[in-house]
Structure 1
Amino acid sequence: MSARRSVAPTGLADRLLSAQAVRVHCQALMAQAQAGLARHFTWHPERMALVSAYVTQVIRERHPDLRVPPHSRWRHFEAGNVDRWAQVAARHGLDRPTMQLERARARVDLAVTSVLLDASAGAAWAYADLSTGQQLAGAEGLGVASLHWWAGGALSSDPHHPCRADAVGLERLPTADLALAFQVNEHNVLPGLEGRANLLRQLALALRSRPDVFGHPGASGLRPGHLVDTLIRLYPTGRVPAEALLRLLLTTLGGIWPERPALDGAPLGDCWPHPDAPDGWVPLHQLSQWMTYALVEPLEEVGLTVVGLDELTALPDCRNGGLLLDLGLLQARDRAFHTTRWRADAEPIVEWRALTVVIMDHLAEAVRGELRLTPEQLPLSRVLEGGSRAAGRRIARAKRPGGPPPVHIDSDGTVF
């Protein structure tokens, strides 16, 4: 295993590594769609009311009091209304008041590693949670599996402190251990297994390359959780801009993604070429934004508040993007789009994801109008949680046996 050499981003690369760039570049492609000039899709705004009503109904059914929690990996750990994180914290003494700082570090260790394992599980895989008897598929199954695996000490090099992830534990990870923990066999196939394991091994290299961020004086080992200490130092007021947190993740962890574009040695991560985009690039940063959302609650443990969360965008994944296709807000110009198996860098996929980012902003506004709520009462992250992803799963189940999304993408375990 060798580290991917990277340099500090400058110029265009630096501009692409931001949530602002995601919206600006995606809006350029949306303007093409609104003018009827998008290469691969047509835009049907007359169907917005139908889609908004559908998502609103889902929110009302799932959250009758309209108290929607924020979109976060932590919701997956609560699948089936079981607070598994609270159980783990109590079992390992992390719930004690004196453990506040270590609890936050542990939660960041868990959040970062769990998000990196969160690429699509496909329609055939599921996880049997033996502690509850629940059979969990998709993101919930991946989340619960990763929580149990991490809590068992699989990613820690210190057997006395299992609830950690550190560079030594990550770099020695055998893919077979991941397969065993996620119950993978010939009848329960998880796409991109090797890619997922390799991301965690690459994470170890990223930790080693930035001890200023992932180390801590007086502490042994390099951990994602030491990001807590770094942010306390960088933001003494306790207010951490979401855009700054995302940029820190992009610049410190950007080299872990395999076979991604780079500019002048700076890795761009989830950023892809498209001929109609500004400067020819569409930044999306899906998993990095998902990771940013996942860090909000752990950082609150130590009094850090992530502000400006609406600077982040919707995640252009198969559930949000699939919802738009299944309900006709977007329609593929070529019907073969739905039967083709695509690579993540294929131009139609890049365009679909870019349009999804912008349309989800419009959809969130329409949903708020239906519910008579303000952006402060129902920010984008709560529309996603409430909301659009559950609606995407529901319409997929209604249209196709087993509920697969309307797009087929080859997953290497590192995208979607």
Structure 2
Amino acid sequence: MGLFSRKQSKQPLSSTDDSKSIQSNRSSSHKSPLSSINGQQFGMKSQNLLAEIPDIPLPRAPDPLIDPVKYLKSIYAVRERTRLVLETAKRNQLKHFTVDLGKFDDAVSYVVAIIKRDYGSDFASIPPHGRWQHFDVGGRPRVDQMMQTWPLSIDALERCRRLIDLFVVSVLLDAGAGSKWQYKSKENSRIYRRSEGLAVASLEMFKAGVFSNNPEQPFQVDSEGLSRITEAAMRKGLQVTDQNPIDGLEGRTQLLIKLSDALQNQAIFGVDSRPGNMLDYLLSHPTTHASSVPIIPLPTLWDLLMDGLGPIWPQTRTHIDGVPLGDAWPCSIMPSHPTHPWESIVPFHKLTQWLCYSIMVPMTKLLQVHFAGAELLTGLPEYRNGGLFVDTGLMTLKPDETQRGLEQYRANAERLGQPSMEVVPMFTADDDVIVEWRAATVGFLDELLIEVNKMLGLSGSDCLSLAQMLEAGSWKGGRELAEVSRPNTKEPPIMIFSDGTVF
């Protein structure tokens, strides 16, 4: 099959019949305004419903001069700060990369070819980027199949809570696994790698009750269940051995243990301390609008995740006034100011954005929730999207940095006793090279979306969203280019030392 050969169409996903849902199936301190509504009313949106959704005002971005921490942790700051790096990149004035804008059209053409290969002209069928598709790797609708095993008495609200439970844990485990790790499914004995492997592994662990404290209810994640997680348990669940190593096992384990502590916030996660209880918090939040469908402002979901899950992130990262900022890093080409240290920092919050994209999908599918301001989310600054721009020649690492990165790769390979093949530059996540690369990636993804829609001949409401382009084009395209360019390792053109908490 050629690189752009049309793939066979996938089997349609089966639907779950919630028509006999009769109860909320939970114990929580929240009272959802939808708890008495039958689950049958929450199918996918029709065009008529979409037309009836009103515009609602969104909050303004925090003022960095008043509260720089709140600003840098906001979703607004990601696009605003990375835009400064993009403008520098377009002038070919980056510190670590040369930029050849003449290659940008190559990236556009490649992404368009990938989209047309897989979807023909049926662009409206492209799902938004999210974890759901990873669970269904190989065309097997694992999420729907799991829901079909649940009693009909489990209503749409509880189904959605359970999926949020699953998606939160799975996304937090979804940092780069490395080229050597693989997972053999217990259900079909097939081998899966990277993000899809981590998705299938976390799904099978979820179904086995690994994250639940209730032996009679394996299909949930709760604080007490997570508090018992050990590195040995994660090693077993992810099938990690000396011959099947995974990057960042300790970091992944610590994220789940810290999640256990974060879930003690009963105002958000209820008395039974489940991630899924954020659903009721959101539906009952004063900023949520009751219309033909529930309308939740994206910043409300964002603030919940940043504040509610803030304690899980490593405390050794960038701080302002002693407050850790999460996935936000100093960048040398950013402005510097002696009394405004925030100006040199670029925030990404990649895993939080990936979590947003992912949990919005079940809330939309099962409950018809509409998220106002979803366009505030950015492209994800990770190695597949970023690798697309390097492998197409748009961005090229400068010689001195290339040499430094190659030396670090070889030292790491020697330390781990691994053979050196298809050697690529390697850096830590806080290295200025990586911060600059990630920031430019976010900016170029916005530019890519505009040009992809133009080349596809789409305009107005027919345009692909950024989430759709990430799903069908840039993320997939970056991975496939890596497979073609480095067929033995399938690694990206630049590697990052993974601690299990960033990529």
- SS of residue matched to 1:272: strand
How far is 1:375 from its partner? 6.1
How far is 1:287 from its partner? 0.4
2:471 aligned to which of 347, 360, 385: 385
1:177-192 mapped onto 2 (5 Å cutoff): 177-192=233-248
Conserved 8 A contact 2:178-2:247? yes
Q: Which is worse superposed, 71-80 or 55-64?
A: 55-64
How far is 1:304 from its partner? 2.2
Corresponding letter in the other structure for 1:336: Q
Paired with 1:41 and 1:58, the residues of 2 have a C-alpha distance of 26
- SS of residue matched to 2:380: coil
2:86 aligned to which of 30, 33, 51: 30
Tell me whether 1:336 sits opposite 2:400 in the alignment.
no
Deviations 1:150-204 (A, max 9, x none): 1111111111111111110111111111111111111111111111011000001
2:496 aligned to which of 406, 409, 413: 409
- SS of residue matched to 2:224: helix
Paired with 1:299 and 1:394, the residues of 2 have a C-alpha distance of 30
2:128 aligned to which of 70, 93, 97: 70
Q: Which is worse superposed, 239-248 or 133-142?
A: 239-248
1:174 aligned to which of 227, 230, 237: 230
Paired with 1:277 and 1:288, the residues of 2 have a C-alpha distance of 23
1:108-127 mapped onto 2 (5 Å cutoff): 108-127=164-183
Paired with 1:97 and 1:159, the residues of 2 have a C-alpha distance of 19
- SS of residue matched to 1:319: helix
- SS of residue matched to 2:393: coil
Q: Which is worse superposed, 228-237 or 288-297?
A: 228-237
Q: Which is worse superposed, 294-303 or 188-197?
A: 294-303
Paired with 2:159 and 2:321, the residues of 1 have a C-alpha distance of 39
Match of 2:351 in 1: 287
2:279 aligned to which of 228, 238, 257: 228
Tell me whether 1:395 sits opposite 2:460 in the alignment.
no
Give the number of the structure whose alpha-carbon radius of gyration is greater: 2
Paired with 2:386 and 2:70, the residues of 1 have a C-alpha distance of 27
Paired with 1:173 and 1:273, the residues of 2 have a C-alpha distance of 33
Paired with 2:150 and 2:154, the residues of 1 have a C-alpha distance of 13
Paired with 1:327 and 1:98, the residues of 2 have a C-alpha distance of 48
- SS of residue matched to 2:446: helix
1:264-343 mapped onto 2 (5 Å cutoff): 264-278=321-335, 279-300=343-364, 301-334=366-399, 335-336=402-403, 339=406, 340-343=425-428
Quickly say closer, same or farther: Cα 1:107–1:373, change in 2 above 3 A.
same
2:458 aligned to which of 362, 368, 373: 373
Corresponding letter in the other structure for 1:386: A
Conserved 8 A contact 2:85-2:440? yes
Paired with 1:12 and 1:72, the residues of 2 have a C-alpha distance of 30
Match of 2:267 in 1: 212
Deviations 1:85-133 (A, max 9, x none): 112112233xx26521111111111111100000001111111123233
Task: State the superposition RMSD in angstroms.
Answer: 1.6
Paired with 1:112 and 1:260, the residues of 2 have a C-alpha distance of 22
Corresponding letter in the other structure for 2:403: A
1:155-174 mapped onto 2 (5 Å cutoff): 155-174=211-230
Quickly say closer, same or farther: Cα 1:84–1:375, change in 2 above 3 A.
farther
How far is 1:257 from its partner? 1.1
Deviations 1:251-271 (A, max 9, x none): 221221112222234321100
Corresponding letter in the other structure for 1:414: T
Paired with 2:473 and 2:92, the residues of 1 have a C-alpha distance of 28
**Structure 1 residues not aligned, in runs of 5+:** 1-8
**Quick one: higher RCO (CA 8 Å, sep 6+), 1 or 2?**
1
Q: How many residues are treated as equivalent by the alignment?
A: 401
Conserved 8 A contact 2:85-2:333? yes
Paired with 1:47 and 1:283, the residues of 2 have a C-alpha distance of 27
How far is 1:338 from its partner? 5.3
Corresponding letter in the other structure for 1:73: R
Quickly say closer, same or farther: Cα 1:338–1:366, change in 2 above 3 A.
farther
Conserved 8 A contact 1:337-1:407? no
Match of 1:51 in 2: 107
Paired with 1:376 and 1:331, the residues of 2 have a C-alpha distance of 35
Conserved 8 A contact 1:206-1:253? yes
Conserved 8 A contact 1:243-1:312? no
Conserved 8 A contact 2:289-2:296? no
Conserved 8 A contact 1:255-1:267? no
Quickly say closer, same or farther: Cα 1:268–1:376, change in 2 above 3 A.
farther
Paired with 1:182 and 1:92, the residues of 2 have a C-alpha distance of 25
- SS of residue matched to 1:21: helix
Paired with 1:393 and 1:178, the residues of 2 have a C-alpha distance of 26
Match of 2:297 in 1: 241
Paired with 1:299 and 1:26, the residues of 2 have a C-alpha distance of 29
1:128 aligned to which of 180, 184, 191: 184
How far is 1:374 from its partner? 3.0
Match of 1:361 in 2: 446
Conserved 8 A contact 2:282-2:300? no
Match of 1:89 in 2: 147
How far is 1:305 from its partner? 1.7
Structure ranking higher in helix proportion: 1
How far is 1:243 from its partner? 3.0
Corresponding letter in the other structure for 1:230: Y
Paired with 1:232 and 1:285, the residues of 2 have a C-alpha distance of 24
How far is 1:277 from its partner? 2.3
Paired with 1:199 and 1:173, the residues of 2 have a C-alpha distance of 10
- SS of residue matched to 2:155: helix
Paired with 1:37 and 1:337, the residues of 2 have a C-alpha distance of 20
